[in-house]
Amino acid sequence: MSNIQRPETIQRPRWAEQIRQQIGGIVYKDSFVIKDEIICFLYRDSSGRFLILVYPENGASWVHQFSGTELKLNLDGQVLNAKQCPTNQENSKALRENFEFTRPVLIGLKKSFGFGDRLGLATPGHILAVRDSDVTPIFAQQSIREMTRTQRSAQEVMDDACWGVFQAGFDKPFGSDADHLKNEADIDVCAKAGFGMFTIDPGDYVDDDADSESTDVIKKKFAELPWQELESSADETIKRYEGGISLADVKLEFSADQIMRAGSKYGRAIAHTYKMYRHLVSTVGEGNFELEVSVDETASPTTPQEHFYVASELKRLGIKWVSLAPRFIGEFEKGVDYIGDLNIFRKEFALHAEIARQVGPYKISIHSGSDKFSIYPIAAELTEGLVHVKTAGTSYLEALRVLAKLEPGLFREILDFARERYPQDRATYHVSADVNKVPSSTNLGDHQLAGLLDDFDAREVLHVTFGSVLTVKDSAGGLRFRDRLLAALTEHEEAYHQCLKEHLGKHVKPFTI
């Protein structure tokens, strides 16, 4: 960390207690760091969270990059100058400029795990889950859809993750993922916020009907693809794939019909991805970002032949990417385990992994990856480390678990509201929960509430209603749940972080050597 050092472990609790006696609040002992003889740490009181800089009379010039209030602190009998800096956007920028370990990096082909955080409070718990692992974490991760539903900006997502890294004293590399971007404006917003990985979602351009339409319709669709944008032609494309491909002990055969169906299904999505990639290069600069391609949010699975077609076309066009998310066979519903035949999944997943090694190498990305415990060992074995797992909503569910245990009244309100909202909110999610199987709060004792977080139907109902819970207003125009939820989690943050450590640690463990 260049000129950045951590103080001795014996100093941290001593300093923390001295500071607590002077200014009250909670001092995060793991956050203590010394740079240019200036002691820095995070602290929280009833008015919020602050960065404290304690410096000698002739402090380093970078201290002035942080805005804040001057004060005096006595450390080990010496009265020193200090500055109390709010964790706002201006100071977040200064934090990343001066403390390199808080800046996300490009992580390449290292096996990785994405920790989505819909509340902005989960990063220290995510760090507990991954700290002893050889998996590279991605902490700043959120889709545009989730940002819209939680009314958070890309910059807030980035800033919250970086402050969480500082709070926990995490010195290892971590990444950032601007997830499920659909247009160039999405790229611009996330690039400005400092994201390093961009997940392109061309799902709106995938034609799922191509799986079942007549041959005549497919021929017409294939002929009408934007061949100029694809820098090819119908005849050239058929010739490229008609010989098939050998993968380990299996040969993938391509009939002319299969090639045309793959092209009709994914051709426009490839053209859109190419357009988005060129925009990224012109905006961020080649070599300054990482790309993931996601075709997982489609109605039908991506066959191995289709995966090979998509990857080969991306490569032919000169697109460089680090991971690709197919739509796997079986069901990847939100917040619950894999639904489907594991033997069939294993057989097809092995082909997907081999295609990634042969065409790339690139990582196989598993979206809606939370709580898919039955497939983790398979994915870890067959990818041989070329894997990325992406989670988001399970950290929100663990937040609700904390409420169920420690703030049952608030949890009951959220539960009953979620039951009301589920029929509307499920529309854009792949879930099958039956809300009629989720009891109302009046039918449950306090000791039964936390158990709902282990129930299939209740988990999905609570999972997909997060946006409504966080943004619904009360009769006076204020937010009905959000502020109380965040205040409760802040009060019980240690319990929340321990829940995340336990639950997400189970996710990471199968991928850890």
Question: 98 phi and psi, to 5 degrees?
Answer: -105, -15
Residue with tokens 């793959």: 262
Contact (CB, 8 A) for 16 and 8: no
Nearest to 456 by CA among 510, 410, 397, 508: 397
CA–CA gap between residue 51 and residue 453 (Å, rounded): 35
Q: Which amino acid is at 20?
A: R
Amino acid found at 377: P
Q: Which helix (H) or strand (E) holds 247?
A: strand 245-247
Q: Given the structure tokens 């697109």, which residue do they identify?
A: 319
Give 354's contacts (C-beta < 8 A, 6+ positions apart).
247, 248
Nearest in space to 362 (alpha carbons), one of 350, 372, 354: 354
Give the whole-angstrom CA distance, residue 382 versus residue 411: 40
| In contact, 277 and 327? CB cutoff 8 Å | no
Look-up of token digits 């997982």: 296
CA–CA distance, 201 with 322 (Å, rounded to integer)? 15
DSSP 8-state class, residue 303: -
Q: DSSP assignment of 401-422, as one string? A: HHHHHH-HHHHHHHHHHHHHHH
Phi, psi of 367 (to 5 degrees): -90, 165
Helices 123-130 and 154-168 meet at what angle, rounded to 10? 50
Kindly give the interhelix angle for 304-316 and 256-284, rounded to the nearest 10 degrees: 40
Report, as residue numbers or ranges, the catalytic residues: 179, 292
